[in-house]
Amino acid sequence: MLRNNIQSCVKFGMQKSFIKTFPRPLNRLFAIFLALSLLACQSDDFETLDGHAVSVSDWQGQWVLINYWAHWCRPCLLEIPELNKLHHDMSVTNKKIKVFGVNFDGVLGHELEEQASQFSIEFPILIQDPSQKLGYQRPNVVPATYLIGPDGQVKDVLLGPQTYDSILTFVKKWEP
């Protein structure tokens, strides 16, 4: 396994000959460090538009709402104030609800920043689409909101524009 990880260094611009220049004990230490670094890269973390890392493990025991939106989708833009309100009211129904947005078109960088600013999005925007890592199908229409329960399972997929109250109704439906 370590040999495979050392060989994968070439992907990161390091030549195997560079690794061999270290004395044998350091070579092994370097290989272990590299293997651990590669494993760390395979985490469930996502990055937000503002550069913060978001770990799925931090969501355990909390409700998570992932909303897909697009700048050309009028219903998406109409629900943004509702999602902003939910984002700011983190103690709804004595449970935390984390709100995240995902740009449906996969826009990145400066263009995404401009859209988020233009539409006054105040909740974190995930740069990577989380659907594959979280095991759900990416939506075909927007707006689409995925409601993930405290157990990490998708509880509902809400299509069309949502309101603060409609989201709380779905959360309450799943609470014991």
Spell out the per-residue pLDDT of the chain, length 176, in tens. 333 333 333 344 444 444 455 556 555 555 555 444 444 444 558 999 999 999 988 888 899 999 999 999 999 999 999 999 999 987 565 668 999 999 999 999 999 999 999 999 999 999 999 999 999 999 999 999 999 999 999 999 999 999 999 999 999 898 87
The DSSP letter of residue 174 is H
The pLDDT, as a whole number, for residue 176 is: 74
* CA pair distance 93, 106, nearest whole angstrom: 33
pTM of this prediction exceeds 0.75: no
Is residue 66 within 8 A of residue 54, CB to CB? The reply is no
Backbone phi, psi, residue 78, to 5°: -70, -30
The DSSP letter of residue 115 is H
DSSP result, 48-97: BTTS-EE-GGGGTTSEEEEEEE-TT-HHHHHHHHHHHHHHH-TTGGGS-E
Q: How far is CA 78 from the centre of its chain?
A: 23
The pLDDT, as a whole number, for residue 90 is: 75
